[in-house]
Chains A and B, each alone.
Chain A
Amino acid sequence: MAGHPSTYEPQYAATRWLDQRLPVIRMGADFMTFPSPRNLNYWWTFGGILSLCLVSQIITGIILAMHYVPHVDMAFDSVQRIRRDVPFGWLLQPMHAVGASMFFLAVYVHMFRGLYYGSYKAPRELLWILGCVIYLVMMATAFLGYTLPWGQMSFWGATVITGFFGAVPVVGESLQQWLLGGYSVDNATLNRFFALHYLLPFVIAGVVGLHIWALHHVGQNNPIGVTPKTKTDTLAFHPFYTVKDAFALCIFLLIFAYFIFYQPDALGHSDNYIPADPLKTPAHIVPEWYFLPFYAILRAVPDKLAGILLMFAAIVVLFVLPWLDTSKVRSMRFRPVARPFFFVFIFFCFILGWCGAGNPDDVAVPIGKGLTFKVLSQISTAYYFAYFLIILPILGMTEKAKERPVSITKSVLGDHAAAPAE
């Protein structure tokens, strides 16, 4: 909460001296004593998990850059050399590659958490928008990074994605060639993608700083969405949530470690082990799993420009969500009508991911004449947008919410709340 009183007392002459000049220890101490709602559940542990993901990606990334060669003739082999010859390269390269997937896994859980508990509603609109900015820059970073191993999927993924800019009316071709630094994806492209892939994580780190600043200014949301009012509604961040975060982090790292040590390539595409060949397109180009839903939206319409606009709109709609959801009730726990619509929304997000992996003309569901992936992705895309543009705005005005607890303390302790909480 805004300006919670600082309880830090410097113990030594040196810390007193520092505190009067640059109160960094005080900042850290205030961070640790930050009053957090006492009812946060495990869905609230992903902020900490994401922080670790970012740090891990930056550290392993800087190490990989020490061995990687951003040149079309050497990039592919240099990545293979990291995996085979560089000391511990077999560990560090998968940590980075699998790490990207784990980062997205965590960010999607974090975002669905925000969607379910209404963490985007006043006064957290800007907090949510900063999160959307982080997500957008993450997607750019992941795309640039996926190009670097210079396999077939790297090359053709880069060709398809930079092709989006070619669809811009009038200036499209010039814009695309300016981005590529040539007529097609080539050495100039690889070089600049490497430079930008190195830069963007630090941009993310900067926006994460703003995200946390905004969080500490407005305070965390919580599972019942009722704002903390009294001292008994909150707990100090440390040790209560440092321990909870640490436990969740351990579980997360177990999954992470499973992939690194047993399935380092399970989340990637085997075609990326074929060096890039500008004369041959792989039979079936697919992006990494975390982009599949957007890829399905792109392919849902048969028009090039419309597909691209729709795909970008799928992200833009998240930015304006705080003003689309007209309900004053934050948590879905108290929204009996909106809640099932939310679960259907999640279902269709998964369906979109499935459609993105499939061939548009193949039959997905053998009912009637056969439901193709294309038709299925059209239905799912329609629901995706309807959820934000029709369902949430209308439900906010018509839905009768369940009665909400008066306070967090009351919701946790029930009738015992009457007893002195001290």
Chain B
Amino acid sequence: MGKGLIVSETVNEPHGEGAVDGEKRDFIFIATGAVAALGAASVAWPLVAQMGKAADTLAAGSIEIDLSAVEEGGQLKTLWRGKPVFVRHRTAEEIAQAENTDIANCPDPQTDAERLIPGPSGQVNPKYLVMIGVCTHFGCVPVGEAGDFDGWYCPCHGSHYDTSGRIRKGPAPKNMEIPPYEYLSDTVIKVG
């Protein structure tokens, strides 16, 4: 291998008689680069993915809510997956307001019935409005029985929601979200 040393000193000299095969070198260069990039990406992925939701966060269970505890005209606020859930026991007047709205003029048209989930009887109960109490603008918690539509008003940037939790005025783009829930009995729901 004594000769190898000499060769390494003259590495820029063309070997033997033929000139350097540029195409072959390019291929080796690109192939090596591609393998290295793939390797780097596969190592980078865990570094990025670790920031996602952890298993215990994902497993954050469902909650049960007893609707009968909420008086007419009252609202229950509870925390589900770190977000407030509103359970509003609406008055007859509020229900009428929610149902008699011309939704054609709403930024996010939805009828009141579409925002309720049917109970065991297959009928919706318009008395109880269950939704995630988070403004769809930047995630603030709207204040109840306020705003131009007697529903909710977001103090952060002035979004007005009606008695069905629909966005009616202001910068928020969507109605307040309805969480996945089901009626376990006539008065108990399970959220999540």
Contacts and interface: CB of A to CB of B under 8 A. Distances in A.
Nearest to A295: B157
Contacts of A163: 137-139
Interface stretch (A179-187, A219-227, A230-238): A179-187
A417 B141 CA distance: 69
Given A160-B139, A177-B52, A304-B137, A299 B157 contact: yes
Bin the interface of chain A by size: 35 or more
B141 A183 contact: no
A14 B173 CA distance: 70
A403 interface: no
A177 B53 contact: yes
Given A278-B83, A279-B84, A281-B156, A160 B140 contact: yes
B81 interface: yes
Interface in B48-98: 51-54, 57, 60, 77, 79, 81-84
B172 interface: yes
A303 interface: yes
B53 A360 contact: no
Contact of A183 (B83, B137, B155): B83
A285 B171 CA distance: 15
A179 B51 CA distance: 7
A181 B173 CA distance: 24
A285 B156 contact: yes
A248 B170 CA distance: 47
B33 interface: no
Bin the interface of chain B by size: 20 to 34
B51 A181 contact: yes
Nearest to B81: A183
Nearest to A166: B139
Contacts of B170: 302
B158 interface: yes
Given A278-B79, A304-B171, A188 B54 contact: yes
Contacts of B51: 178-179, 181, 192
Nearest to A306: B171
Contacts of A299: 157, 171
Most A Cβ at <10 Å: residue of B52, B60, B173: B52
Contacts of B172: 304
A280 interface: yes
Contacts of B57: 181-183, 186, 188
A281 B155 contact: yes
A159 interface: yes
Interface string B7-21: 000000000000000
Interface string A248-287: 0000000000000000000000000000001111111100
Nearest to B156: A285
Contacts of A143: none
A166 B174 CA distance: 13
A246 B64 CA distance: 65
A387 interface: no
B87 to A, nearest CB: 13
A185 to B, nearest CB: 7
Contacts of A415: none
Contacts of A94: none
Contacts of A280: 141
Interface string B149-188: 0000011111000000000001111000000000000000
A348 interface: no
Sorted nearest first, the 4 A-B pairs with minimum C-beta distance are A184-B82, A163-B138, A183-B81, A160-B138
16 contacts: A159-B138, A160-B138, A163-B138, A163-B139, A181-B52, A182-B54, A188-B53, A278-B83, A279-B79, A281-B156, A282-B155, A285-B156, A299-B157, A307-B171, A360-B157, A361-B158
Given A186-B82, A188-B54, A278-B84, 10 more contacts: A159-B139, A166-B139, A279-B84, A281-B143, A285-B156, A302-B171, A303-B173, A304-B173, A360-B157, A360-B158
Interface of B: 51-54, 57, 60, 77, 79, 81-84, 137-143, 154-158, 170-173
Interface of A: 156, 159-160, 162-164, 166, 177-179, 181-186, 188, 192, 278-285, 299, 301-304, 307, 359-361
